[in-house]
Amino acid sequence: MAKKRIVSTTINGTQRDFLCEPRQTLLEVLRDTLDMTGTKEGCSNGNCGACTVQLNGRPVVSCLVLAVEVDGATVETIEGVACNGTLHPLQDAFLNNAALQCGICTPGFIMQSKSLLAENPNPSEHDIRFYLAGNLCRCTGYDKIVRAVQDAAGKMSSCCEAKV
Partner 1 sequence: MRDFDYAAPTTVAEAVQLLQSHKGAARPMAGGTDLIDQVRVGRLTPDLVVDIKKIPELTVLEWSANGLRIGAAVPCYRLYHDPKVTAAYTALTDSAAIIGGIQIQSRASIGGNLCNSGPAADSTPSLIALGAIVVIAGPQGTREVSVDTFCTGPGKNILEPGEFVVELKLPARAAKSGSAYQRFIPRNEMDIAVVGVGVSVTLDAAGQNFVAAKIALGAVAAKPLVAEAAAKALIGQPVSEATIQKAGEAARAIATPIDDMRGTIEFRKHVTGILTARVIQQAVERARGGK
Instruction: Give the footprint of partner 1 on this chain (CB under 8 A).
Output: 1-3, 5, 21-25, 44-47, 49, 52, 55, 58-61, 63-66, 68-69, 112, 115, 129-131, 133-135
**25 or 77: whose CB is closer to partner 1?**
25
User: Minimum distance from CB of 30 to partner 1 (Å)?
Assistant: 15
User: Minimum distance from CB of 45 to partner 1 (Å)?
Assistant: 5
User: Minimum distance from CB of 80 to partner 1 (Å)?
Assistant: 18
CA distances in angstroms from 109 to 22, 24, 61, 94, listed in the order given: 28, 24, 11, 10
Q: Provide, for the chain, the percentages of residues in helix, strand and coil under a 3-state DSSP scheme, each rounded to the nearest 5.
A: 40, 20, 45
**44 or 74: whose CB is closer to partner 1?**
44
**129 or 155: whose CB is closer to partner 1?**
129
**2 or 83: whose CB is closer to partner 1?**
2
Give the SS3 label for residue 12.
coil
User: Minimum distance from CB of 14 to partner 1 (Å)?
Assistant: 23
Please calculate the CA angle 131-136-138 and round it to the nearest 5 degrees: 140
Q: Determine contact, residues 130/119, Cβ cutoff 8 Å.
A: no
Q: Name the residue type at position 126.
A: H
